[in-house]
Every structure is written in C-alpha cells, then in structure tokens.
Chains A and B, each alone.
Chain A
Amino acid sequence: MAVSAQRLTPRRSSPRRVSARRVISSEHFTGWAFVTPGVVIILLFGAVPIIWSAVMSFQRNNLLSPNTPFVGTANYRKLIHDPVVTQAIQHTLIYTVLFVPGTMLVGLFLAVAMNRQIRFISFYRTAAYATMAISTISEAIVFIWLFDPSYGVVNYFLGAFGIPQQQFINSPAEALYVIVIMTIWGWTGFSVVIYLAALQGVPQHLTEAAAIDGASPWQAFRRVTLPLLSPASLFLAVWLTINALQLFDEVYLSTQGGPLNATTVLVYYLYKQAFQEFNFGYASAIAYFLFLVIIVVTVIQFRVGRRYTYYRS
C-alpha cells in the first residue's frame, strides 16, 4: 500500500542494468537517506550504550586504571551482598507502593470532581494542571522549605492541631514520606489530565441508565464508570511505577540519600557509585538490576491488569 505510487511504473523494465539514477531515486536509497541522521543518533546514544553497559557490568572499570579486566559475575555478586543495595531496594519499594496508588487516587478524585460544567471549573482545572509545569528541582526546593524542621509552615499548621514540631527531612523515619508527598503533588496534574480525558470518553447514557435502574451514584461510579476507566488506570499504574522506580531528582536535591541512608533509593545509589565513586562496572550492574526490576514489575502489572481491564472495542 505504501508503494502503490511506485508500482504505476513497471518495476522490472530493465532487470540487468541498474543505473545510478535509479539507485538514487529508488525507495531503498531515499528510505535510508531519510532515516540515517535520526537513526545514527539513536543508535549511538541509545542502542550502543545498552550493549556497552551490559558488557561493562561484567568488568572492573573504575576510570582510574586504563585497563578494564573481565571479572565474571563479581559485580552482581557484590550487589547481592551489599547492605546498602538491600536498603535501597526497600526504600524504592516503600516509595513506589505509596506514591503510585496515592497519585492515582488523588488524580481520580479530582478528575471526577472536575468532570462537570460548573462555575470556575477552568480555574480549578488550570490549578491542577499547573503542577505539571514545575520542574522536579523547583518542586523539591519549594517542598523542603514548606517542610523545613525549624521554620517550615507545615510544622506551624500541625502545631495548630497540637502536633509537636517534626524533623521531616532531617528524620530518618520521616524523610521518605516527605518525598512521597512532594512527588504526589508534582504528578497530580498529570494524573488529572489522564483521568479527565478518560472520563470524557465515558458515554453519559451508561451512567444515566444505571441511575434509572436504581443504582446509587456510588454504585454507578463503582460498577459503570470505574470499569470504563480501567485502561487509563492501567496506563497510569505502569507509567507512574516506571517513574517511581527511577526516582532521583527530588532525593538528590532534598536529602542526598540521607539522613543515615533513609532515602537512598536505587537510582541515587547508582548515581553515587557511578559519578562519585567512579565504579562504572558496579554501577552498570546496578543499572541492569534496575532494568530487570522494571521489566518484571511492568509485565506483572500488564498480566494482572489485563484481568481487570475493560476495553470497549
């Protein structure tokens, strides 16, 4: 179908002689000419590094010595026995388990509330969307000030409820939860947009019909709207999880993995190993481990999600 224009001219008129002009005007040549600039960049900075870091994960490579001997699976064995990696995995999992459902619930709740034509609705929507325009770094700066242990306004509000001053990002018990809150806030706009788009695809006659059949608004939502939103929910769950497992910016800015490693997540530890200690081999092994975790989690989510996902088509 793509070459129907080409086929108007007989293809094999002169099968023996292929002139230079025919080569240049052939679809093979133009095809390669069109894709080459983009593809070279993607191969050089995307594809080659995938293989290279796989190789590197079996080498000792610390930038200091020029030779990079193969060390077998030493980096992976080191990873299994590294207590900081164990901690980092725990923190990453706790963070993901709180952040993903938290963001989805906030987004769903706000999107349902905003999915109606009432006064000021575009103001409400814009306010939610605005969180999308703020960079992770600005977001983290604002939140460490809000949650400042000594002068933070959050402590002041908590004080109004009789709660004593908290240490927040200075406390190993609380720092990770502050990061959960700031990232949920930062992703609110995104999940609102996704859920609003999905809600606008829910045909009104279905919920109306449920109401006529005697369903309460909650039942209509639970039994009609929510199943119709399941593709959006599955997308958000997968997308947010991938991003949660790669958490870095907020940790780097607010706590640098501290206090006492309490917020050291996988990517932060990987960054530290790679670009502060220059253990490229070990860092590559951690990167591949992270990749494996992402693949496994995503596959599980799609497998489980498919059972609960309703596609209309």
Chain B
Amino acid sequence: VTATSAPARDGVRSASRGGVPATRRWRLPFSPWHLVLLPATVALLFPFAWLLITSVETQNEALRFPPVLIPHQIRLANYPDAFNSAPFGHFFANSAIVAVTTVVCNLVLCSLAGYAFARFRFLGRTVLFAVIMATLMVPFQVTMIPQFIIVKWLGVHVLAGVGIDHIGALILPNAATAFGIFFLRQFFRTLPIEYEESARVDGASRLRVLIRIVLPLATPALATLAALTFLDSWNNFLWPLIAVTSTNQMTLPLGLATFQGSHQTQWPLLMAATTMSLVPMMAIFFLAQRYFIRSVAATGLAGT
C-alpha cells in the first residue's frame, strides 16, 4: 500500500480525464457486470422462488420426479390448510409479543444504563462495566444450562409467568443485553456534552436530560438497536427450544420446527407455513431496510 500511496497524489492531478480511454471500439449495450450479477441474483432468489412455487402445488405434484417447475393449478388452499393444522396464529402472536416487549425493554433499560456508564461517575462503575463486557464474550451455550435452572426456579418460587414453559421466560433473560448497553454508551459518548450541561444548569434532572435532550439526538442508534434486537428475538431458536414445550407458548421458529417434524412429507403445507412465517419479517425488513443495513454495517465497522 505504501508503494501506491506516494504516486497516488500525482495520479489524481494527471488523471483528470486521461485515465479513461476516450473511445472504445466495441461495447455491450449494458454494463458487463450484469452478466455476473443476473445469474448470481437468480441463484440467490431461487430458494425463495421454489418455496413459493411448492407452497401452491398439490401434494401430488410436489411428490413427483422430475419436479413440476410450473404448477398446473395454483392451490392457494394450502395456506388456510396449513394455518389450521397448527396454531400458527398463536405462534405469530407469541413471536410478536416476545419481540416487541424485548425491544421496548432493551431500549429503556439499555438507554438508562448506557447513559449512566457514559456520563456519570459513581462508585464501582469501572468494575461493573468490565463485568458486563466480559459477559459479552461468553457464548450462549456456556450460560444456557444455569439460565434454564434459574428461570425454572423463578417460575416456581417467584412468578409463574417468567418460568419454564411461559413466554415470559423468553423475554426476561433478554430484557437488557450487554451489547445494547455497550452500543448506546459508545454512541452517547460521541454526543456534545454542552447541551446536557446547560440543561443541568437550568435545573433539569438527570432523567429529564436523558429523555428530552440525549434520546432525541440518539434516534439513529436507538433505531439500530431496535432493529438488531427485533431480528435476534424473532429468529431465536435455541433458547425457546429449551425453555418452552407446550404448543401454545411456542414462537414461530419453534412452532415451525415442530410442524416440520410432524408434517415432514406434506411439503406444500410446510412451504405455505414457512412462507407465512417469512411475511412479517420480510415486510419489516423492506420497510426498514435502511436501518437494518446500517445496523449490520455498524456492527462490522465497530469491529474494525
């Protein structure tokens, strides 16, 4: 790199127009990159397309080889059939309740803690923050067995709603995350402190400063955290698999996996159910694409 950086300054000046060949004898009517991107995109989208196609085929057509690439009739009845053969309404509702509650809890609790870690000096701050950061490095598999025992104990001795086999058990352990606290703390520290100071001089309480001044400035970070938390919660599988066993407490991934286990050969129904499970996530994803992309890119840039 050092070799190229020295002539680079020179190059910019002389590059003004001379670098690009003035005339090309022959060119495609479109960018040649389409020749790469189009097949790649077809390959990437094919699983989605095949999912949709199978979801409207009859059982008879699905179990045929060579496969029926274009169904003779579109059997939309697979969707209500799938919906009625398992409590998918329940799964949707549970997933939504768990994801939304988890997001709201994280926004509130991580804002409070992240702000305190960013701006306050209090006894034990450094140690506490170090402990929280340490938990960030430990994989879930290490903590899941004690977490299971703790949740089970809480359900028996404190509150049944957060115990094993209740969706509360899917919310409470994730209601605040070390990542959320760290992420918001980092963002709060980049904000100019002068606004907060002048509000304090004017007599505003700490909480008021956070709500009225800091949080409005932190909207992009809050949106990013909300998007990441929602995605994590919606797609989480291992913890619900451990914590929940009865059908009416299951979230979508778990319900779908259970449905797959019991309807393995009914591919059109399974595909219809899978398609329905994708709709909310896809809708949110496309509506908030900017935030998702930004948040994923942010995790990457934070790591570099």
Q: Which residues of A are interface residues toward B (Cβ below 8 A)?
A: 1-5, 8, 27-32, 34-35, 37-39, 41-50, 52-53, 56, 110, 113-114, 116, 118-120, 123-124, 126-139, 141-143, 145-146, 148, 150-153, 155-156, 159, 185, 188, 190, 193-194, 196-198, 205-206, 208-213, 223-224, 227-228, 231-232, 234-236, 238-239, 242, 246, 248-249, 252-253, 267, 270-271, 274-275, 280, 283-284, 287-288, 290-291, 294-295, 310-311
Contacts and interface: CB of A to CB of B under 8 A. Distances in A.
B108 to A, nearest CB: 8
Nearest to A293: B139
Given A128-B44, A145-B51, A196-B297, 19 more contacts: A2-B193, A34-B115, A34-B120, A44-B150, A47-B135, A49-B143, A113-B36, A127-B44, A137-B235, A190-B296, A194-B297, A205-B12, A209-B10, A209-B12, A210-B11, A248-B237, A274-B144, A291-B141, A294-B139
Interface string B98-140: 0000000000011011011111111111001001101101111
User: Mostly helix, strand, loop or mixed at chain A's interface?
Assistant: helix
A47 B136 CA distance: 10
30 contacts: A2-B121, A4-B197, A27-B120, A37-B176, A45-B143, A45-B173, A46-B135, A48-B146, A50-B142, A53-B142, A113-B33, A116-B31, A118-B33, A118-B34, A123-B41, A126-B286, A126-B289, A135-B281, A137-B257, A142-B47, A156-B65, A156-B67, A198-B300, A209-B7, A211-B19, A212-B15, A246-B141, A248-B238, A249-B253, A287-B139
B141 A34 contact: no
B84 interface: no
A146 B50 contact: yes
B23 interface: no
Contacts of A294: 139
A5 B201 contact: yes
B219 interface: no
A209 B145 contact: no
Looking at chain B's contact residues, the main secondary structure is: helix
A49 B237 contact: no
B11 A141 contact: no
B139 A242 contact: yes
Contacts of A32: 122-124
A30 B30 CA distance: 62
B78 interface: no
B8 A209 contact: yes
Contact of B296 (A110, A116, A193): A193
B70 interface: no
B36 A39 contact: no
Of the candidates B65, B118, B175, the one having the most CB atoms from chain A within 10 angstroms of its own CB is B65
Given A141-B256, A143-B47, A53 B145 contact: yes
Interface centre among B128, B175, B293 (most CB of A within 10 A): B293
A42 B7 CA distance: 52
A133 B119 contact: no
Given A131-B44, A193-B297, A228-B1, A145 B50 contact: yes
Given A50-B143, A145-B50, A190-B296, A2 B253 contact: no
Contacts of B69: 153
A130 B110 CA distance: 29
A152 B47 CA distance: 12
Interface string B241-257: 11000000000111011
Contacts of B141: 246, 267, 270, 287, 290-291
B63 interface: yes
B238 A41 contact: no
B112 A38 contact: yes
Contacts of A212: 7, 11, 14-15, 18-19
A247 to B, nearest CB: 11
Contacts of B278: 133-134, 138
A135 B121 contact: no
Interface string B64-86: 11110100000000000000000
B20 to A, nearest CB: 9
A49 B48 CA distance: 39
B22 interface: no
A141 B51 CA distance: 9
A48 B4 CA distance: 52
Contacts of B4: 206, 209-210, 213, 223-224
B45 A2 contact: no
Given A3-B121, A30-B120, A53-B142, A132 B113 contact: no
B120 A291 contact: no
Contacts of A27: 120-122
Contacts of B48: 130, 142
Contact of B267 (A145, A227, A280): A145
Report the 9 A-B pairs with minimum CB-CB distance, sorted nearest first: A31-B122, A209-B11, A49-B146, A231-B304, A34-B116, A46-B135, A38-B176, A49-B143, A197-B297
Contacts of A232: 300, 304
